[in-house]
A and B are shown apart, each in its own frame.
Chain A
């Protein structure tokens, strides 16, 4: 997992290096908490899931929590995906209505 925190008002980027599942979730949760703390209003968040092939319910729960938190701070969220299965899950769970999903 890599984390890049850009200067204020620039896009914050959090890169998941693998699957977003219950066994790996804590690391990602901590990093997402880190990028969320002290974020300025309207400062976008990019969650890079291009290396992710699988998201389970716990992973989904984390994404929902993060998106809600960002929405509360009026900060847009972009989720980049690389695999159809991940995109499908995000569509199925209607997260595409709460965040921008981009397939690369």
Chain B
């Protein structure tokens, strides 16, 4: 439609006709003024409704923000919990040092038991040797008794030989016979005692040796198995820590994604500020007095309004997506954390590292205690055997001394009586028995010394282990208890984190399902903005833009403060505004406008098919729509 007025130069006779024409033109101007006034009123109402929409949207966003805040909060907690789990699983925090400390504390008692077990061969050998010595002593006791056997008939012979002598000589023989008799009784008595004691010692040593042999065997098996488990677990732990990054990928990915979605939530919630500003700018532009004619102004702002509505919908879409993603990720995290393979070994699992160490602490404590008890018991039982040996030595010495005295006395008496009495023969025989007994006594003492050496060596090792095991038991009771507490605390932290994850996930799901999050209201606001844009487009259609409107719109565009607004403006008008540069195609306001006719720099747009008179952008259009290079602009151009 052209606004130009054509004046036809009529002949003077047709002055009236000319006046009528002028009148018609005047009437047209008046009508136009009346129409413009009505449109201005219409625009005023539209701006009021835009303000109401912006206000309404503000309230809805505020409500949405309130509803999303706890979800965002729980999601952030989930990210933190996720990180905690990773640190626990990898041992970056307490785990690694704790496991090493635990192994260090366990190492000492295990080494103690190892040393004890390493000496088992020597210990059992010492007891075997002691048993062998006991057998020899037993035999020597019998030999001693056999050696003294002739003394029985020696007493009879002494009495027979002395029967024909005078009373004094007979008294001498009777005295020697009585001494021999006393020695016999002593030997018989001590023999019974010694045999009993030796038998008892043999039983004690044999029992202790059997118990220790079984104990060494069972403890050896247990310690070897336990040590194998610990070594394997430590190796597995080292391996896990070494390949930590690979194992953690899934959980880390979930954590990162959650953070990204939280960012999306926060970002999308900021749309309200942008919406408010854009609506304010649109309203200010529409209400600005006389800068630009209403038609082009309404056309341009309708595009801004549609873009604002579109941004609102996009924002809602992003919020919906972020919320769904958070829900999905939270569920994934919950399931993944329970299934995570690294937790099996490192933290809480029944067959995991913590449990293994706790079990080992308990079992090592039991080993140390039971070994300690056994060594105490062995010591208590074997120690008296040493005093038995001492008794045997003194008794043997006493018998040997006695027989030597008797023999000497008999020899002295026989010399006093003189040869031929027969007493010298008996004295010689007694001396021979004395020598035999002396020899047996020396052998007995040798065996007893060997026995004492074996038992002493055995008791010495036992004593050493008793001292060490008591010290280890004490250490386990202090350092071990602290480590156990820390192991429990580590597992409690993991369990608490997992419970917290489950609770957070539950909270997120409940919040999402509660219906407190209302996206529909915001989408209705977008629809209302689209409706208002449609009304602006109708006004624009009634008042097409002219070339001179471009310059005015260019000046008008300086009011924009946001890059998005400038972008839309540039795409719609072909003007770049301020620092904003058009870098992609978009909606087109003017067509066929030559660049040189524009008083502003042409935007940097990529060539694309022309879109002649552009329809208002659809709600689903994007800023990257195809734009046309501003082409020839006639004096009177249909803008829309």
Contacts and interface: CB of A to CB of B under 8 A. Distances in A.
Nearest to A58: B488
A56 B352 CA distance: 16
A94 B349 CA distance: 6
Q: Among A22, A57, A61, which residue has the most Cβ atoms of chain B within 10 A?
A: A57
A17 interface: no
Contact of A94 (B337, B351, B489, B498): B351
Interface in B323-364: 337-338, 343-344, 348-352, 354-355, 358-359
State which size class the interface on A falls in. Answer: 20 to 34
A56 B358 CA distance: 14
Interface string B460-501: 000000000000000000000000000111111001001100
Contact of A89 (B337, B343, B499): B499
B350 A93 contact: yes
Given A67-B350, A93-B350, A60 B491 contact: yes
Interface string B561-588: 0000000000000000000000000000
A85 B355 CA distance: 20
Given A61-B355, A84-B502, A92 B350 contact: no
B351 A57 contact: no
A102 to B, nearest CB: 18
A100 interface: no
A81 to B, nearest CB: 14
Interface in A54-87: 55-58, 60-61, 64, 67, 84-85
Contacts of B348: 57, 60, 92-93
Contact of B358 (A61, A67, A97): A61
A64 B492 contact: no
A83 to B, nearest CB: 11
Contacts of A24: none
Contacts of A51: none
A57 B502 contact: no
Contacts of B491: 57, 60
A88 B502 contact: yes
B310 to A, nearest CB: 44
A98 interface: yes
Contacts of A101: none
A64 B502 contact: no
Contacts of B502: 84-85, 88
Given A91-B338, A93-B350, A56 B492 contact: yes
B492 A92 contact: no
Contacts of B492: 56-57
B285 to A, nearest CB: 58
A92 B492 CA distance: 12
Nearest to B354: A57
Among A56, A60, A92, the one with the most B-chain Cβ atoms within 10 Å of its Cβ is A92
A35 interface: no
Given A56-B488, A61-B488, A64-B355, A88 B499 contact: yes
B351 A56 contact: no
Nearest to A99: B350
Contacts of A84: 502
A73 to B, nearest CB: 18
A72 to B, nearest CB: 13
A22 B492 CA distance: 11
A88 B338 contact: yes
A36 B359 CA distance: 19
A95 interface: yes
Contacts of B499: 85, 88-89
Contacts of B337: 92
Contacts of A57: 348, 354, 487-492, 495
B591 to A, nearest CB: 65
Contacts of A85: 499, 502
A67 to B, nearest CB: 7
Nearest to A95: B350
B337 to A, nearest CB: 8
Q: Which of A88, A93, A95 has the most CB of B within 10 A?
A: A93
Contacts of B489: 57
Interface string A2-13: 000000000000
Contacts of B338: 88, 91-92
B37 to A, nearest CB: 70
Interface in B346-395: 348-352, 354-355, 358-359
Contact of A93 (B349, B358, B487, B490): B349
Contacts of A88: 338, 498-499, 502
A69 B351 CA distance: 14
Given A56-B492, A85-B502, A88-B338, A98 B350 contact: yes
B343 A92 contact: yes
Interface string A41-62: 0000000000000011110110
Nearest to A89: B495
Interface string B129-162: 0000000000000000000000000000000000
Nearest to B488: A57
A17 B352 CA distance: 28
A85 B497 CA distance: 12
A30 to B, nearest CB: 17
Contacts of A92: 337-338, 343, 348-349, 495, 498
B495 A94 contact: no
A61 B498 CA distance: 18
Contacts of A91: 338
Contacts of B351: 94
Contacts of A61: 355, 358, 488
Contacts of A58: 488
A94 B350 contact: yes
A99 to B, nearest CB: 9
Nearest to A91: B338
Contacts of B355: 61, 64
Contacts of A93: 348-350, 352, 495
Q: Which 10 A-B pairs have the closest CB atoms?
A: A57-B488, A57-B491, A94-B349, A57-B492, A64-B350, A93-B348, A92-B338, A95-B350, A94-B350, A93-B350
19 contacts: A56-B488, A57-B354, A57-B488, A57-B490, A57-B495, A60-B491, A64-B355, A84-B502, A85-B499, A85-B502, A88-B498, A88-B499, A88-B502, A89-B495, A92-B343, A93-B349, A94-B349, A94-B350, A94-B351
Interface of B: 337-338, 343-344, 348-352, 354-355, 358-359, 487-492, 495, 498-499, 502
Given A57-B348, A85-B502, A88-B499, 5 more contacts: A57-B489, A57-B492, A61-B488, A89-B495, A94-B344
